[in-house]
Amino acid sequence: MDSQIKGVSTGTTILAVTFNGGVIIGSDSRASIGGYYVSSKTINKLIQVHDRIFCCIAGSLADAQAAIKAAKFQISFHSIQMESPPLVKAAASVLKELCYNNKEELQAGFITAGWDRKKGPQVYTVALGGMLLSQPFTIGGSGSTYIYGYADAKYKPDMSREECLQFATNALALAMGRDNVSGGVAHLVVITEEGVEHVVIPGDKLPKFHDE
C-alpha cells in the first residue's frame, strides 16, 4: 500500500554539460516504485521536446510525463507562431511556468538542454516549485549526491566533445554504481548545430572505478 501511494519514481541520475560547440544530456534508465522496488530497467528519461532541445526528468514519473506532454504542445505552438525554432530558454521557461503554477501537485524536476542560433549550447535546471537556473553543467536525481565531488573536480569550461562525453559517462557510471535506484544503461544525447546524436552505453560497458 505504501508503494502504491508513492507511485512510480524515476529514482534517477540525470545530468547535462556544455562543451565547445554543443551540449550533452544524459541519464540512467532505472525506474522504481517507492524507491525500493525496481519497476523498469529500460526507461528512457531523455525526452525530445523540439529538434535540438531535450529534457530529462526526475521525481514522479507520472507528473513528469504529464508536464512534458503539456510543454511539448506549448513549445510546438510557440514555434509555429514565431515561424522559427524555439529558443532553449523559451522551452525551459514553459516548464518553469508549468511547475510553478502546479507546485502544490507536481513532484518532478527537469533539466532542459539544447542548442539555438541565439546563444548556442545551453543548460537550464527547473527545480521543484518552478525555480529556473542557467548553468554550464548540472546534475540531479537521487544518484547526484554521490557525484558532486567528481563533477566539481573534473568539470572544465570549453571541453571538447570527446572530453565531455567521457565526463558524462564517468559521472553516470559512478552514480549508478553507488545509488541503488539508479542503474540500467546510460542514455546520452549530443546536441550541436549539426544535429542530434543518441549514444546508449550498456551497463556492462560502463567504466568501473571500484569493485561492483
User: What residues act catalytically?
Assistant: 12
134 forms beta bridges with: 124
CB 13 within 8 A of CB 141: yes
Which residues lie below 8 Å from residue 183, measured CB to CB, with a gap of 6+? 28, 29, 30, 38, 41, 176, 203
Residue 37, helix vs strand vs coil: strand
Q: Find, among 109, 121, 3, 132, the residue nearest to 57 by Cα.
A: 109
